[in-house]
Amino acid sequence: MDDLDKLKDLLFGAEKEALDSISERVERPETRTADVSDVLPEAIRQSHRRNGELVESLTEPVGECLQQAFRDDPETYGDALYPVMGPAIRKSIAQALRALSERLNRVAEQSFTPKGLKWRLQASRAGIPFSDFVVQRSLLYRVEQAYLISRENGLLVEHVHHLASKIKDSDAVSAMFTAIQDFVKESFSPDRTGRLETADMGEFTLWAVHGPHALLVCVIRGVPPGSLRGELSAILERIHFRYGESIRNYSGDTSSMPNVDRDLRKCLEFQAAQDGEDEKSGVPWPTLIAILVAVSVLGYFLVTSWLESRQLDELTVALRETPGLYVAGATRDGDKFVIDGMRDPLATPISEVAAGFEIRADQIVENMTAFQSLEPVIVKRRVESALADVNSVSYTISGTNLTVNGEAPRAWLDSTRSQLLAIAGIDSVDLSNIVDSDLRQLLAEINALSGSRFLFSSGTILAPTQENSLRAFAETLANLQSRAAQSKHVIGVSLTGSTDPSGDPLANAEIARRRVAAVSAILSEYDIASDEQPLSSDPPSATDALQPFALRNVVVNLTVVGSSDGP
Protein backbone atom coordinates (compact mmCIF):
# COMPACT_ATOMS: atom_id res chain seq x y z
CA MET A 1 0.00 0.00 0.00
CA ASP A 2 1.53 3.29 -1.08
CA ASP A 3 1.23 6.56 0.69
CA LEU A 4 -1.75 7.68 -1.38
CA ASP A 5 -3.76 4.63 -0.40
CA LYS A 6 -2.83 5.16 3.22
CA LEU A 7 -3.96 8.74 2.99
CA LYS A 8 -7.34 7.66 1.42
CA ASP A 9 -7.77 5.08 4.13
CA LEU A 10 -7.17 7.70 6.79
CA LEU A 11 -9.51 10.25 5.21
CA PHE A 12 -12.40 8.05 3.96
CA GLY A 13 -12.08 4.83 5.88
CA ALA A 14 -15.23 5.26 7.98
CA GLU A 15 -17.35 6.25 4.99
CA LYS A 16 -16.10 3.28 2.98
CA GLU A 17 -17.05 0.88 5.71
CA ALA A 18 -20.55 2.41 5.86
CA LEU A 19 -20.96 2.12 2.07
CA ASP A 20 -19.81 -1.49 2.11
CA SER A 21 -22.29 -2.28 4.87
CA ILE A 22 -25.13 -0.66 2.88
CA SER A 23 -24.18 -2.51 -0.31
CA GLU A 24 -24.14 -5.80 1.58
CA ARG A 25 -27.69 -5.17 3.01
CA VAL A 26 -29.03 -4.25 -0.41
CA GLU A 27 -27.50 -7.21 -2.18
CA ARG A 28 -28.63 -9.85 0.38
CA PRO A 29 -32.37 -10.79 0.06
CA GLU A 30 -32.50 -12.01 3.64
CA THR A 31 -31.44 -8.60 4.92
CA ARG A 32 -33.91 -6.71 2.71
CA THR A 33 -36.78 -8.99 3.83
CA ALA A 34 -35.95 -8.38 7.48
CA ASP A 35 -35.83 -4.60 6.92
CA VAL A 36 -39.25 -4.59 5.10
CA SER A 37 -40.87 -6.73 7.81
CA ASP A 38 -39.85 -4.18 10.43
CA VAL A 39 -41.68 -1.27 8.70
CA LEU A 40 -44.49 -3.15 6.83
CA PRO A 41 -47.15 -3.08 9.61
CA GLU A 42 -46.76 0.61 10.21
CA ALA A 43 -46.65 1.35 6.46
CA ILE A 44 -49.89 -0.56 5.92
CA ARG A 45 -51.54 1.27 8.82
CA GLN A 46 -50.54 4.72 7.53
CA SER A 47 -51.49 3.91 3.92
CA HIS A 48 -54.95 2.71 5.03
CA ARG A 49 -55.50 5.88 7.04
CA ARG A 50 -54.34 8.15 4.24
CA ASN A 51 -56.63 6.91 1.38
CA GLY A 52 -58.39 3.87 -0.02
CA GLU A 53 -55.77 2.83 -2.54
CA LEU A 54 -54.45 0.08 -0.27
CA VAL A 55 -57.91 -1.51 0.00
CA GLU A 56 -58.39 -1.36 -3.77
CA SER A 57 -54.98 -2.92 -4.31
CA LEU A 58 -55.58 -5.78 -1.87
CA THR A 59 -59.23 -6.54 -2.79
CA GLU A 60 -58.55 -8.63 -5.87
CA PRO A 61 -55.57 -10.70 -4.63
CA VAL A 62 -57.10 -11.30 -1.20
CA GLY A 63 -60.42 -12.30 -2.80
CA GLU A 64 -58.66 -14.78 -5.10
CA CYS A 65 -56.72 -16.20 -2.15
CA LEU A 66 -59.94 -16.75 -0.19
CA GLN A 67 -61.68 -18.38 -3.15
CA GLN A 68 -58.74 -20.69 -3.71
CA ALA A 69 -58.61 -21.54 -0.02
CA PHE A 70 -62.35 -22.32 0.10
CA ARG A 71 -62.01 -24.62 -2.91
CA ASP A 72 -58.94 -26.40 -1.53
CA ASP A 73 -60.22 -26.91 2.01
CA PRO A 74 -64.00 -26.25 2.24
CA GLU A 75 -64.48 -28.41 5.29
CA THR A 76 -62.10 -26.37 7.45
CA TYR A 77 -63.69 -23.07 6.52
CA GLY A 78 -67.20 -24.54 6.89
CA ASP A 79 -66.32 -25.57 10.45
CA ALA A 80 -64.95 -22.10 11.12
CA LEU A 81 -68.16 -20.39 9.88
CA TYR A 82 -70.51 -22.85 11.57
CA PRO A 83 -70.76 -20.90 14.88
CA VAL A 84 -71.87 -17.82 12.90
CA MET A 85 -74.13 -19.40 10.26
CA GLY A 86 -76.03 -21.68 12.63
CA PRO A 87 -77.46 -18.97 14.92
CA ALA A 88 -78.23 -16.72 11.93
CA ILE A 89 -80.20 -19.46 10.16
CA ARG A 90 -82.04 -20.43 13.33
CA LYS A 91 -82.94 -16.79 14.01
CA SER A 92 -84.30 -16.32 10.49
CA ILE A 93 -86.38 -19.53 10.69
CA ALA A 94 -87.67 -18.59 14.14
CA GLN A 95 -88.82 -15.18 12.91
CA ALA A 96 -90.58 -16.72 9.90
CA LEU A 97 -92.33 -19.31 12.09
CA ARG A 98 -93.33 -16.65 14.60
CA ALA A 99 -94.87 -14.50 11.86
CA LEU A 100 -96.70 -17.55 10.45
CA SER A 101 -97.96 -18.49 13.90
CA GLU A 102 -99.24 -14.99 14.57
CA ARG A 103 -100.98 -14.97 11.20
CA LEU A 104 -102.63 -18.35 11.84
CA ASN A 105 -103.69 -17.21 15.29
CA ARG A 106 -105.34 -14.11 13.86
CA VAL A 107 -107.14 -16.18 11.25
CA ALA A 108 -108.32 -18.72 13.86
CA GLU A 109 -109.47 -15.98 16.23
CA GLN A 110 -111.49 -14.27 13.51
CA SER A 111 -112.94 -17.40 11.84
CA PHE A 112 -115.81 -18.14 14.24
CA THR A 113 -116.87 -14.68 15.37
CA PRO A 114 -119.51 -12.42 13.83
CA LYS A 115 -116.76 -10.20 12.55
CA GLY A 116 -114.92 -13.21 11.18
CA LEU A 117 -118.01 -14.37 9.30
CA LYS A 118 -118.50 -10.88 7.93
CA TRP A 119 -114.88 -10.69 6.82
CA ARG A 120 -115.15 -14.13 5.23
CA LEU A 121 -118.10 -12.96 3.13
CA GLN A 122 -116.26 -9.80 2.13
CA ALA A 123 -113.14 -11.78 1.23
CA SER A 124 -115.25 -14.14 -0.89
CA ARG A 125 -116.89 -11.26 -2.77
CA ALA A 126 -113.52 -9.52 -3.22
CA GLY A 127 -111.99 -12.73 -4.59
CA ILE A 128 -108.99 -12.87 -2.22
CA PRO A 129 -107.97 -15.55 0.34
CA PHE A 130 -109.56 -15.14 3.78
CA SER A 131 -106.18 -15.22 5.53
CA ASP A 132 -104.86 -12.33 3.39
CA PHE A 133 -108.07 -10.38 4.06
CA VAL A 134 -107.66 -10.83 7.83
CA VAL A 135 -104.06 -9.63 7.68
CA GLN A 136 -105.11 -6.55 5.70
CA ARG A 137 -107.86 -5.67 8.16
CA SER A 138 -105.59 -6.28 11.17
CA LEU A 139 -102.78 -3.99 10.12
CA LEU A 140 -102.05 -1.34 12.77
CA TYR A 141 -100.13 1.79 11.90
CA ARG A 142 -99.99 5.52 12.60
CA VAL A 143 -98.14 8.40 10.99
CA GLU A 144 -96.07 9.80 13.88
CA GLN A 145 -94.18 12.63 12.16
CA ALA A 146 -94.16 14.44 8.83
CA TYR A 147 -91.27 16.49 7.40
CA LEU A 148 -91.56 18.86 4.40
CA ILE A 149 -88.07 19.37 2.96
CA SER A 150 -87.04 21.63 0.08
CA ARG A 151 -85.45 19.69 -2.77
CA GLU A 152 -83.59 22.77 -3.99
CA ASN A 153 -81.39 23.28 -0.92
CA GLY A 154 -82.35 20.56 1.60
CA LEU A 155 -83.78 23.04 4.12
CA LEU A 156 -86.61 21.98 6.41
CA VAL A 157 -89.79 23.83 5.42
CA GLU A 158 -92.15 22.48 8.11
CA HIS A 159 -92.36 19.65 10.64
CA VAL A 160 -95.43 18.29 12.46
CA HIS A 161 -95.78 15.41 14.92
CA HIS A 162 -98.05 13.85 17.51
CA LEU A 163 -97.74 15.22 21.04
CA ALA A 164 -96.69 11.83 22.38
CA SER A 165 -93.87 11.43 19.88
CA LYS A 166 -90.29 11.94 21.03
CA ILE A 167 -88.78 14.63 18.87
CA LYS A 168 -85.14 15.52 18.49
CA ASP A 169 -83.69 18.33 16.44
CA SER A 170 -85.95 18.37 13.36
CA ASP A 171 -83.44 20.38 11.33
CA ALA A 172 -80.77 17.78 12.05
CA VAL A 173 -83.16 15.00 10.96
CA SER A 174 -83.89 16.89 7.75
CA ALA A 175 -80.21 17.41 7.01
CA MET A 176 -79.48 13.76 7.77
CA PHE A 177 -82.17 12.51 5.38
CA THR A 178 -80.97 14.91 2.66
CA ALA A 179 -77.43 13.61 3.10
CA ILE A 180 -78.61 10.00 2.91
CA GLN A 181 -80.61 10.81 -0.21
CA ASP A 182 -77.52 12.32 -1.88
CA PHE A 183 -75.46 9.30 -0.79
CA VAL A 184 -77.95 6.94 -2.43
CA LYS A 185 -77.84 8.92 -5.67
CA GLU A 186 -74.03 9.01 -5.73
CA SER A 187 -73.47 5.39 -4.73
CA PHE A 188 -76.26 3.41 -6.40
CA SER A 189 -77.49 5.51 -9.32
CA PRO A 190 -74.88 6.25 -12.01
CA ASP A 191 -77.15 8.80 -13.71
CA ARG A 192 -78.23 10.33 -10.33
CA THR A 193 -81.88 9.57 -11.02
CA GLY A 194 -82.32 7.05 -8.21
CA ARG A 195 -83.96 8.07 -4.95
CA LEU A 196 -84.67 6.61 -1.54
CA GLU A 197 -88.38 5.99 -0.95
CA THR A 198 -88.58 3.53 1.95
CA ALA A 199 -86.43 2.71 4.98
CA ASP A 200 -87.13 0.48 8.00
CA MET A 201 -85.90 1.44 11.47
CA GLY A 202 -87.08 -1.06 14.07
CA GLU A 203 -90.75 -0.48 14.74
CA PHE A 204 -90.76 2.59 12.50
CA THR A 205 -91.02 2.82 8.72
CA LEU A 206 -89.71 5.85 6.85
CA TRP A 207 -91.62 6.78 3.68
CA ALA A 208 -90.47 9.49 1.29
CA VAL A 209 -92.82 10.98 -1.32
CA HIS A 210 -91.01 13.02 -3.99
CA GLY A 211 -92.42 16.14 -5.59
CA PRO A 212 -90.97 18.61 -8.10
CA HIS A 213 -89.87 21.15 -5.44
CA ALA A 214 -90.37 19.44 -2.06
CA LEU A 215 -89.92 16.09 -0.37
CA LEU A 216 -92.50 14.72 2.08
CA VAL A 217 -90.94 12.35 4.64
CA CYS A 218 -93.27 10.52 7.03
CA VAL A 219 -92.24 8.49 10.09
CA ILE A 220 -94.80 5.67 10.47
CA ARG A 221 -95.20 3.35 13.42
CA GLY A 222 -96.25 -0.16 12.43
CA VAL A 223 -96.92 -1.57 8.97
CA PRO A 224 -98.74 0.87 6.65
CA PRO A 225 -100.88 -0.34 3.71
CA GLY A 226 -99.78 0.37 0.15
CA SER A 227 -102.72 2.71 -0.41
CA LEU A 228 -101.28 5.17 2.13
CA ARG A 229 -98.62 6.29 -0.35
CA GLY A 230 -101.32 7.52 -2.71
CA GLU A 231 -102.92 9.54 0.11
CA LEU A 232 -99.57 11.10 1.02
CA SER A 233 -98.91 11.90 -2.66
CA ALA A 234 -102.28 13.71 -2.84
CA ILE A 235 -101.32 15.86 0.18
CA LEU A 236 -97.94 16.73 -1.38
CA GLU A 237 -99.65 17.62 -4.67
CA ARG A 238 -102.05 19.91 -2.82
CA ILE A 239 -99.13 21.63 -1.06
CA HIS A 240 -97.37 22.14 -4.42
CA PHE A 241 -100.57 23.54 -5.89
CA ARG A 242 -100.85 26.13 -3.13
CA TYR A 243 -97.23 26.96 -2.35
CA GLY A 244 -95.24 25.59 -5.32
CA GLU A 245 -93.46 28.84 -6.19
CA SER A 246 -92.76 29.67 -2.53
CA ILE A 247 -91.26 26.23 -1.91
CA ARG A 248 -89.09 26.49 -5.01
CA ASN A 249 -87.64 29.81 -3.78
CA TYR A 250 -87.61 28.82 -0.09
CA SER A 251 -84.62 30.10 1.87
CA GLY A 252 -85.85 29.84 5.46
CA ASP A 253 -88.79 32.26 5.56
CA THR A 254 -92.22 30.57 5.82
CA SER A 255 -94.25 33.79 5.77
CA SER A 256 -95.26 33.10 2.17
CA MET A 257 -96.67 29.72 3.29
CA PRO A 258 -98.89 30.68 6.28
CA ASN A 259 -101.00 27.50 6.42
CA VAL A 260 -98.59 24.88 5.17
CA ASP A 261 -98.52 23.24 8.63
CA ARG A 262 -102.29 22.80 8.46
CA ASP A 263 -101.97 20.86 5.20
CA LEU A 264 -99.04 18.89 6.57
CA ARG A 265 -101.01 17.86 9.68
CA LYS A 266 -103.39 15.93 7.47
CA CYS A 267 -100.64 13.32 7.25
CA LEU A 268 -101.03 12.68 10.99
CA GLU A 269 -104.68 11.76 10.51
CA PHE A 270 -103.81 8.47 8.86
CA GLN A 271 -103.89 5.51 11.23
CA ALA A 272 -105.35 2.03 11.22
CA ALA A 273 -108.83 1.47 12.67
CA GLN A 274 -108.60 -0.50 15.93
CA ASP A 275 -111.22 -2.38 17.80
CA GLY A 276 -112.22 -0.90 21.13
CA GLU A 277 -114.70 -3.58 22.07
CA ASP A 278 -113.97 -5.65 25.17
CA GLU A 279 -114.63 -9.26 24.46
CA LYS A 280 -116.31 -11.16 27.20
CA SER A 281 -115.54 -14.74 28.05
CA GLY A 282 -117.98 -17.27 26.69
CA VAL A 283 -120.48 -16.89 23.87
CA PRO A 284 -123.82 -15.36 24.98
CA TRP A 285 -127.05 -16.59 23.42
CA PRO A 286 -127.58 -13.40 21.35
CA THR A 287 -124.25 -14.14 19.72
CA LEU A 288 -125.33 -17.72 19.04
CA ILE A 289 -128.51 -16.46 17.40
CA ALA A 290 -126.47 -14.00 15.41
CA ILE A 291 -124.18 -16.84 14.33
CA LEU A 292 -127.16 -18.93 13.20
CA VAL A 293 -128.55 -15.98 11.29
CA ALA A 294 -125.12 -15.36 9.81
CA VAL A 295 -124.83 -19.01 8.76
CA SER A 296 -128.25 -18.79 7.12
CA VAL A 297 -127.31 -15.60 5.39
CA LEU A 298 -124.02 -17.18 4.40
CA GLY A 299 -125.89 -20.12 2.88
CA TYR A 300 -128.14 -17.74 1.00
CA PHE A 301 -125.19 -15.77 -0.30
CA LEU A 302 -123.33 -18.94 -1.26
CA VAL A 303 -126.31 -20.18 -3.26
CA THR A 304 -126.80 -16.74 -4.78
CA SER A 305 -123.12 -16.52 -5.58
CA TRP A 306 -123.23 -19.93 -7.24
CA LEU A 307 -126.27 -18.95 -9.30
CA GLU A 308 -124.63 -15.68 -10.32
CA SER A 309 -121.45 -17.51 -11.26
CA ARG A 310 -123.43 -20.01 -13.31
CA GLN A 311 -125.34 -17.18 -15.02
CA LEU A 312 -122.04 -15.50 -15.89
CA ASP A 313 -120.60 -18.75 -17.26
CA GLU A 314 -123.67 -19.39 -19.41
CA LEU A 315 -123.60 -15.82 -20.73
CA THR A 316 -119.89 -16.15 -21.55
CA VAL A 317 -120.48 -19.39 -23.48
CA ALA A 318 -123.39 -17.85 -25.41
CA LEU A 319 -121.35 -14.76 -26.32
CA ARG A 320 -118.41 -16.84 -27.51
CA GLU A 321 -120.76 -18.85 -29.72
CA THR A 322 -122.26 -15.68 -31.24
CA PRO A 323 -120.76 -14.90 -34.69
CA GLY A 324 -118.80 -11.66 -34.81
CA LEU A 325 -117.99 -11.61 -31.09
CA TYR A 326 -114.64 -12.39 -29.46
CA VAL A 327 -114.82 -12.49 -25.68
CA ALA A 328 -111.42 -12.08 -24.00
CA GLY A 329 -112.88 -12.01 -20.50
CA ALA A 330 -116.16 -11.72 -18.63
CA THR A 331 -116.37 -10.72 -14.98
CA ARG A 332 -119.05 -9.62 -12.57
CA ASP A 333 -118.93 -6.40 -10.54
CA GLY A 334 -121.93 -6.42 -8.22
CA ASP A 335 -124.95 -6.64 -10.49
CA LYS A 336 -122.92 -5.49 -13.51
CA PHE A 337 -121.52 -7.84 -16.15
CA VAL A 338 -118.23 -6.53 -17.55
CA ILE A 339 -117.45 -7.94 -21.00
CA ASP A 340 -114.00 -7.40 -22.56
CA GLY A 341 -113.11 -8.32 -26.13
CA MET A 342 -113.86 -7.39 -29.74
CA ARG A 343 -117.12 -7.03 -31.68
CA ASP A 344 -117.96 -6.74 -35.36
CA PRO A 345 -120.43 -3.87 -35.99
CA LEU A 346 -122.82 -6.33 -37.69
CA ALA A 347 -122.69 -8.87 -34.86
CA THR A 348 -125.72 -9.44 -32.64
CA PRO A 349 -125.72 -6.83 -29.82
CA ILE A 350 -124.49 -8.19 -26.49
CA SER A 351 -127.63 -6.86 -24.78
CA GLU A 352 -129.80 -9.06 -27.01
CA VAL A 353 -127.78 -12.15 -26.12
CA ALA A 354 -127.92 -11.21 -22.43
CA ALA A 355 -131.70 -10.76 -22.58
CA GLY A 356 -132.00 -14.52 -23.08
CA PHE A 357 -130.53 -14.98 -19.59
CA GLU A 358 -132.81 -12.39 -17.95
CA ILE A 359 -130.03 -9.81 -17.82
CA ARG A 360 -131.06 -6.21 -18.43
CA ALA A 361 -129.24 -4.00 -20.90
CA ASP A 362 -128.25 -1.54 -18.14
CA GLN A 363 -126.40 -4.38 -16.38
CA ILE A 364 -124.00 -4.84 -19.30
CA VAL A 365 -120.70 -2.94 -19.33
CA GLU A 366 -119.01 -3.39 -22.71
CA ASN A 367 -115.27 -2.85 -23.17
CA MET A 368 -115.28 -3.96 -26.79
CA THR A 369 -112.92 -3.05 -29.63
CA ALA A 370 -114.33 -2.93 -33.16
CA PHE A 371 -113.01 -5.44 -35.69
CA GLN A 372 -114.14 -7.19 -38.88
CA SER A 373 -115.00 -10.83 -38.45
CA LEU A 374 -114.46 -13.31 -41.29
CA GLU A 375 -117.12 -15.72 -40.11
CA PRO A 376 -119.49 -16.66 -42.99
CA VAL A 377 -122.57 -15.36 -41.16
CA ILE A 378 -121.00 -11.92 -40.69
CA VAL A 379 -119.68 -11.83 -44.27
CA LYS A 380 -123.21 -12.63 -45.47
CA ARG A 381 -124.59 -9.73 -43.42
CA ARG A 382 -122.05 -7.38 -44.95
CA VAL A 383 -123.11 -8.43 -48.44
CA GLU A 384 -126.79 -8.04 -47.57
CA SER A 385 -126.08 -4.56 -46.20
CA ALA A 386 -124.30 -3.57 -49.42
CA LEU A 387 -127.16 -4.92 -51.59
CA ALA A 388 -129.98 -3.65 -49.37
CA ASP A 389 -130.96 -0.71 -51.59
CA VAL A 390 -131.76 -2.92 -54.61
CA ASN A 391 -134.46 -5.57 -54.27
CA SER A 392 -134.14 -6.96 -57.79
CA VAL A 393 -130.83 -8.79 -57.23
CA SER A 394 -129.86 -12.02 -55.51
CA TYR A 395 -126.46 -13.41 -54.57
CA THR A 396 -124.55 -16.57 -53.78
CA ILE A 397 -121.31 -16.89 -51.78
CA SER A 398 -118.87 -19.71 -52.45
CA GLY A 399 -115.91 -19.45 -50.13
CA THR A 400 -114.58 -15.95 -50.75
CA ASN A 401 -116.25 -15.57 -54.18
CA LEU A 402 -119.45 -13.53 -54.56
CA THR A 403 -121.83 -13.90 -57.53
CA VAL A 404 -124.67 -11.40 -57.97
CA ASN A 405 -127.65 -12.06 -60.27
CA GLY A 406 -130.70 -10.02 -61.23
CA GLU A 407 -131.35 -6.58 -62.63
CA ALA A 408 -129.96 -3.22 -61.49
CA PRO A 409 -129.26 0.29 -62.82
CA ARG A 410 -125.89 1.03 -64.43
CA ALA A 411 -125.00 3.69 -61.80
CA TRP A 412 -125.65 1.18 -59.04
CA LEU A 413 -123.40 -1.37 -60.75
CA ASP A 414 -120.54 1.12 -61.07
CA SER A 415 -120.69 2.22 -57.41
CA THR A 416 -121.41 -1.19 -55.90
CA ARG A 417 -118.64 -3.14 -57.62
CA SER A 418 -115.85 -1.42 -55.62
CA GLN A 419 -117.96 -1.53 -52.45
CA LEU A 420 -118.42 -5.30 -52.76
CA LEU A 421 -114.71 -5.85 -53.42
CA ALA A 422 -113.93 -3.91 -50.23
CA ILE A 423 -115.96 -6.29 -48.05
CA ALA A 424 -113.75 -8.25 -45.64
CA GLY A 425 -114.03 -11.95 -46.48
CA ILE A 426 -114.77 -11.37 -50.22
CA ASP A 427 -111.88 -11.73 -52.68
CA SER A 428 -113.72 -11.70 -56.03
CA VAL A 429 -117.07 -10.36 -57.31
CA ASP A 430 -118.91 -11.63 -60.42
CA LEU A 431 -121.53 -9.17 -61.77
CA SER A 432 -121.68 -10.57 -65.28
CA ASN A 433 -125.14 -12.06 -64.78
CA ILE A 434 -126.73 -8.73 -63.81
CA VAL A 435 -128.97 -7.14 -66.45
CA ASP A 436 -128.66 -3.39 -66.83
CA SER A 437 -132.18 -2.16 -66.02
CA ASP A 438 -131.37 1.25 -67.50
CA LEU A 439 -130.44 -0.42 -70.77
CA ARG A 440 -133.64 -2.50 -70.73
CA GLN A 441 -135.72 0.65 -70.32
CA LEU A 442 -133.67 2.36 -72.99
CA LEU A 443 -134.26 -0.51 -75.42
CA ALA A 444 -137.99 -0.38 -74.72
CA GLU A 445 -138.11 3.33 -75.53
CA ILE A 446 -136.01 2.80 -78.66
CA ASN A 447 -138.34 0.04 -79.83
CA ALA A 448 -141.27 2.37 -79.26
CA LEU A 449 -139.70 5.08 -81.44
CA SER A 450 -138.34 2.79 -84.14
CA GLY A 451 -140.55 2.69 -87.23
CA SER A 452 -141.83 6.24 -86.76
CA ARG A 453 -143.31 7.59 -90.06
CA PHE A 454 -143.38 11.20 -91.21
CA LEU A 455 -145.74 12.13 -94.08
CA PHE A 456 -145.23 14.53 -96.98
CA SER A 457 -148.05 16.40 -98.73
CA SER A 458 -146.17 16.66 -102.04
CA GLY A 459 -142.58 16.56 -103.14
CA THR A 460 -140.36 17.36 -100.12
CA ILE A 461 -143.02 19.35 -98.29
CA LEU A 462 -144.01 17.76 -94.97
CA ALA A 463 -147.68 17.34 -94.32
CA PRO A 464 -149.32 19.73 -91.81
CA THR A 465 -148.09 19.17 -88.16
CA GLN A 466 -145.48 16.66 -89.36
CA GLU A 467 -142.53 19.02 -88.96
CA ASN A 468 -143.42 19.65 -85.31
CA SER A 469 -143.79 15.90 -84.79
CA LEU A 470 -140.41 15.32 -86.46
CA ARG A 471 -138.66 17.89 -84.26
CA ALA A 472 -140.25 16.43 -81.07
CA PHE A 473 -139.08 13.01 -82.29
CA ALA A 474 -135.56 14.42 -82.81
CA GLU A 475 -135.40 15.82 -79.27
CA THR A 476 -136.50 12.52 -77.77
CA LEU A 477 -134.03 10.58 -79.94
CA ALA A 478 -131.15 12.92 -78.97
CA ASN A 479 -131.92 12.28 -75.29
CA LEU A 480 -131.97 8.51 -75.90
CA GLN A 481 -128.59 8.68 -77.66
CA SER A 482 -127.09 10.54 -74.66
CA ARG A 483 -128.41 7.92 -72.26
CA ALA A 484 -127.21 5.12 -74.53
CA ALA A 485 -123.71 6.64 -74.57
CA GLN A 486 -123.58 6.44 -70.76
CA SER A 487 -124.17 2.69 -71.09
CA LYS A 488 -121.54 2.51 -73.85
CA HIS A 489 -124.11 1.86 -76.58
CA VAL A 490 -124.73 3.63 -79.89
CA ILE A 491 -128.15 4.10 -81.50
CA GLY A 492 -128.06 3.65 -85.28
CA VAL A 493 -130.59 5.71 -87.31
CA SER A 494 -131.67 4.65 -90.82
CA LEU A 495 -134.16 6.53 -93.05
CA THR A 496 -136.31 4.91 -95.75
CA GLY A 497 -138.34 7.08 -98.15
CA SER A 498 -141.42 6.05 -100.17
CA THR A 499 -143.76 7.52 -102.85
CA ASP A 500 -147.06 6.78 -104.59
CA PRO A 501 -146.82 3.77 -106.86
CA SER A 502 -148.03 5.87 -109.78
CA GLY A 503 -145.57 7.73 -111.93
CA ASP A 504 -142.12 7.09 -113.32
CA PRO A 505 -140.07 4.82 -111.02
CA LEU A 506 -136.89 6.82 -111.53
CA ALA A 507 -138.65 10.06 -110.68
CA ASN A 508 -140.25 8.41 -107.64
CA ALA A 509 -136.83 7.22 -106.44
CA GLU A 510 -135.41 10.73 -106.72
CA ILE A 511 -138.38 12.15 -104.79
CA ALA A 512 -137.92 9.49 -102.08
CA ARG A 513 -134.22 10.35 -101.83
CA ARG A 514 -134.98 14.06 -101.48
CA ARG A 515 -137.58 13.35 -98.78
CA VAL A 516 -134.95 11.32 -96.81
CA ALA A 517 -132.52 14.22 -97.20
CA ALA A 518 -135.13 16.64 -95.82
CA VAL A 519 -135.71 14.48 -92.73
CA SER A 520 -131.95 13.92 -92.30
CA ALA A 521 -131.37 17.70 -92.41
CA ILE A 522 -133.80 18.28 -89.54
CA LEU A 523 -132.27 15.40 -87.52
CA SER A 524 -128.75 16.80 -88.03
CA GLU A 525 -129.86 20.01 -86.32
CA TYR A 526 -130.06 17.83 -83.17
CA ASP A 527 -126.65 16.20 -83.82
CA ILE A 528 -128.31 12.98 -85.02
CA ALA A 529 -126.53 11.18 -87.85
CA SER A 530 -128.58 8.94 -90.14
CA ASP A 531 -128.15 6.50 -93.01
CA GLU A 532 -130.34 6.32 -96.17
CA GLN A 533 -131.96 3.01 -97.03
CA PRO A 534 -133.22 1.96 -100.51
CA LEU A 535 -136.67 2.96 -101.69
CA SER A 536 -139.33 0.80 -100.12
CA SER A 537 -140.75 -1.70 -102.60
CA ASP A 538 -143.42 -3.14 -100.37
CA PRO A 539 -146.94 -2.85 -101.77
CA PRO A 540 -149.15 -0.43 -99.84
CA SER A 541 -151.51 -1.89 -97.34
CA ALA A 542 -155.24 -1.39 -97.69
CA THR A 543 -155.22 1.02 -94.75
CA ASP A 544 -152.38 3.14 -96.17
CA ALA A 545 -154.15 3.29 -99.53
CA LEU A 546 -157.18 4.92 -97.94
CA GLN A 547 -155.22 7.57 -95.93
CA PRO A 548 -154.14 10.79 -97.62
CA PHE A 549 -150.37 11.15 -98.08
CA ALA A 550 -149.87 7.72 -96.35
CA LEU A 551 -147.60 6.53 -99.15
CA ARG A 552 -145.60 9.77 -99.27
CA ASN A 553 -143.44 9.28 -96.16
CA VAL A 554 -140.05 8.67 -94.57
CA VAL A 555 -139.76 5.82 -92.03
CA VAL A 556 -137.13 6.14 -89.24
CA ASN A 557 -135.73 2.82 -88.02
CA LEU A 558 -133.51 2.61 -84.93
CA THR A 559 -130.95 -0.05 -84.00
CA VAL A 560 -128.67 -0.42 -80.94
CA VAL A 561 -124.99 -1.15 -81.54
CA GLY A 562 -122.97 -2.79 -78.73
CA SER A 563 -125.77 -4.78 -77.07
CA SER A 564 -126.95 -8.30 -77.76
CA ASP A 565 -130.47 -7.34 -76.72
CA GLY A 566 -131.30 -5.28 -79.76
CA PRO A 567 -134.84 -4.11 -80.50
Is residue 125 in some structural domain?
Answer: no
Instruction: In whole angstroms, give the CA distance from residue 259 to residue 262.
Output: 5
Assess whether 144 and 262 both reside in one domain. yes
Is residue 332 in some structural domain?
Answer: yes
Residue 177 structural domain? 140-269
The answer, yes or no, to whether residue 296 has pLDDT greater than 80, is yes
The answer, yes or no, to whether residue 41 has pLDDT greater than 90, is no
Is residue 366 in some structural domain?
Answer: yes
Assess whether 389 and 364 both reside in one domain. no
The segment with the largest mean pLDDT, out of 318-332, 412-426, 492-506, 520-534, is 318-332
Q: What is the mean pLDDT of residues 377-398?
A: 83
Assess whether 525 and 508 both reside in one domain. yes
pLDDT tens string 501-536: 777 888 888 888 998 999 999 989 998 888 887 665
Position 79 scores a pLDDT of 58
The answer, yes or no, to whether residue 556 has pLDDT greater than 80, is yes
DSSP-derived 3-state class of residue 537? coil
The structure's pTM equals 0.33
Provide the 8-state DSSP code for 271: B
Is residue 106 in some structural domain?
Answer: no
User: Where a domain ends, among 350, 370, 390?
Assistant: 370
Band of the pLDDT at 138, cuts 50, 70, 90? low
Is residue 338 in some structural domain?
Answer: yes
Assess whether 176 and 239 both reside in one domain. yes
DSSP-derived 3-state class of residue 332? strand
CATH of residue 398's domain is 3.30.1340
The H or E element containing residue 329 is strand 325-333
Q: What is the mean pLDDT of the chain?
A: 79
pLDDT tens string 83-117: 555 555 656 665 655 555 555 555 555 555 666 77
Is residue 302 in some structural domain?
Answer: yes
Is residue 32 in some structural domain?
Answer: no
Per the model's pLDDT, the better-predicted residue between 547 and 116 turns out to be: 116
User: Where a domain ends, among 319, 354, 370?
Assistant: 370
The answer, yes or no, to whether residue 153 has pLDDT greater than 80, is yes
Burial per residue of 261-277, b for 16 or more beta-carbon CB atoms within 10 angstroms, e otherwise: eebbebbbebbeeeeee
Position 278 scores a pLDDT of 39
Position 93 scores a pLDDT of 64
Assess whether 251 and 292 both reside in one domain. no
Assess whether 265 and 146 both reside in one domain. yes
Domain count for the chain: 4
Assess whether 223 and 308 both reside in one domain. no
Q: What is the mean pLDDT of residues 474-501?
A: 86
Q: What is the mean pLDDT of residues 123-143?
A: 70
Do 211 and 240 touch, CB atoms closer than 8 A?
A: yes
Instruction: In whole angstroms, give the CA distance from residue 204 to residue 217.
Output: 13
Assess whether 234 and 153 both reside in one domain. yes
Strand order in the sheet with 452-458: 461-462, 452-458, 553-561, 490-498, 531-533
Residues in the chain: 567
User: Where a domain ends, among 235, 269, 303?
Assistant: 269
